[in-house]
Amino acid sequence: MHSSCPKLEKDGFLIRENVLDEKTVLQLLEALSNLKLHKAPSIEDERIYGVRDLINLSDVVKEFSQSPIVKELATNFLDKKAKVVRAIYFDKTPEANWKVPWHQDLTIAVKEKRETAGFTAWTQKANITHAQPPVKILERMLTLRFHLDDSDENNGALKVIPASHNKGRLSAEEIINARKANETRVCSVKKGGCLVMRPLLIHSSSAGTKPKHRRVIHFEFSADELPNNLRWYDS
Ligand SMILES: O=C(O)CCC(=O)C(=O)O
């Protein structure tokens, strides 16, 4: 199931610029501006501004998630059976210039809770059931983050620890140690570009130094079926 892209497998991320044309970016921005931006807790932090359940809230985003551009990336970097399993919209603004500490993405969204071996940390976020699946499932997932603004340190671009994705689920202490022992990288991405990453890559998000919009559509993909009749939320 691993992609045939050596750079992605080695570093756990890569950046593809100029994936979306100006018209597509404008269409998405227009659709997102019609959504009521609310406080969408991510990583248990109520100060992070964004919208969960994006696919169900926006037909334009739903259509985009099925578009050839998105499908081709997901197919290339994951598997031809890859499907979107979660979609979140994140923005930063001068009023909501939030930050997130170093972490791995360990949580998936599912349709309903079913006690299942290996699934822990069941929780409800924005009325959606979430759980932490076995690490094998996370290792086989892919995240695509489509940038609708130029993003760099000024507006709080994502930061990553390259090659930190292939060591499984890490404890808080292991993440701190990885941070001390390794270089970090700011993922500057231009408007229309896409950050391709593995969810287990250690990442963080600083507040912008010159805050302004930093709008990102974040899609997670899997090609796996979940066990025990558990169902992905967005498949
Ligand atoms: O968009 C960001 O800057 C942070 C997102 C994040 O940390 C996450 O999705 O886990």
Q: Write down the domain spans for the chain.
A: 7-102+141-222
Instruction: Give pLDDT, residue 37.
Output: 58
pLDDT of residue 43: 40
User: What's the gap in Å between 15 CA and the centre of ligand 1?
Assistant: 16
Whether the CB of 143 sits within 6 Å of ligand 1: no
Model pTM score:
0.94
Q: What is the secondary structure of the chain as a DSSP string? A: ---S-HHHHHHSEEEE-S-S-HHHHHHHHHHHHTS--EE--BTTBTT-EEESSHHHH-HHHHHHHTSHHHHHHHHHHT-TT-EEEEEEEE---SS----EEEE----EEESS----TT-EEEEEETTEEEEEPPHHHHHT-EEEEEESS-BSGGGT-EEE-TT-SSS-S--HHHHHHHHHHS--EE--B-TT-EEEE-TTS-EEEPPPSS-----EEEEEEE-PPPSTT--BTT-
Rounded to the nearest angstrom, the distance between the alpha carbon of 158 and the centre of ligand 1 is 7
Statement: residue 2 has pLDDT above 80: no
Q: Which atom of ligand 1 is nearest to the CA of 218?
A: 9
Q: Residue 142 C-alpha to ligand 1 middle, in angstroms?
A: 14
| CATH level 3 topology of 7-102+141-222 | Jelly Rolls (2.60.120)
**Averaged pLDDT for residues 167-196:** 97
Q: Is the pLDDT assigned to residue 235 strictly greater than 80?
A: no
Per-residue pLDDT for 91 more than 70?
A: yes
Q: Does 168 have pLDDT greater than 80? A: yes
Give the pLDDT confidence score for residue 41 in this predicted structure: 42
pLDDT at residue 47 in the model:
54
Nearest residue (CA) to ligand 1, atom 8: 105
